[in-house]
Amino acid sequence: MTLGHDGLMRFFASLLAIGLVLGGGASVAAAQEAGCAPSEVGDGTGVFFLALGENCTSAQAEGYTVIAHLVRDDESSEVLVLVDAEHDDAETQQVAQLLAEQVKDGSVDGGTWHDQPPD
């Protein structure tokens, strides 16, 4: 995956959009959860997120590479950062990791997140 300037701009615009989903209210997150399908971060990036909840589990991430399993520090939300099989290369994984770091430090939604320890 080669992002280039336009790709980076779309990616960072997508960060803003994901921030609205992660921190912008229960209605948007609930709508994503109701579908229980990973949502792509920008068109054609291969990077996805999946909000976990009562009806939506990590089982819906089957077929994706899990880059990060994050929990909001106030324990109010949980999300997976994923890469689909079609885009599973080192550069796309690096972009997904960058997204996870931006989420963790609060740059995306203003709240800080941490990695969920493995079971």
Q: Are strands 64-72 and 78-84 parallel, antiparallel or unpaired?
A: antiparallel
Q: How many alpha carbons lie under 13 Å from residue 85 in its C-beta half-sphere?
A: 4
pLDDT in tens, the chain (119 residues): 444 545 544 555 555 455 545 544 443 344 444 578 999 988 889 999 999 998 899 999 999 999 999 999 999 999 999 999 999 999 999 999 999 999 999 988 889 999 998 77
Specify the pLDDT at position 68.
96
Specify the pLDDT at position 5.
45
Specify the pLDDT at position 15.
53
Alpha helices, DSSP H only, in the chain?
4-23, 26-35, 90-104
DSSP for residue 115: E
> For residue 36, what are the CA distances in angstroms to 13, 42, 73?
23, 18, 23
**Residues 83/47, Cβ–Cβ less than 8 Å:** yes
Q: Where are the domains of the chain?
A: 4-108
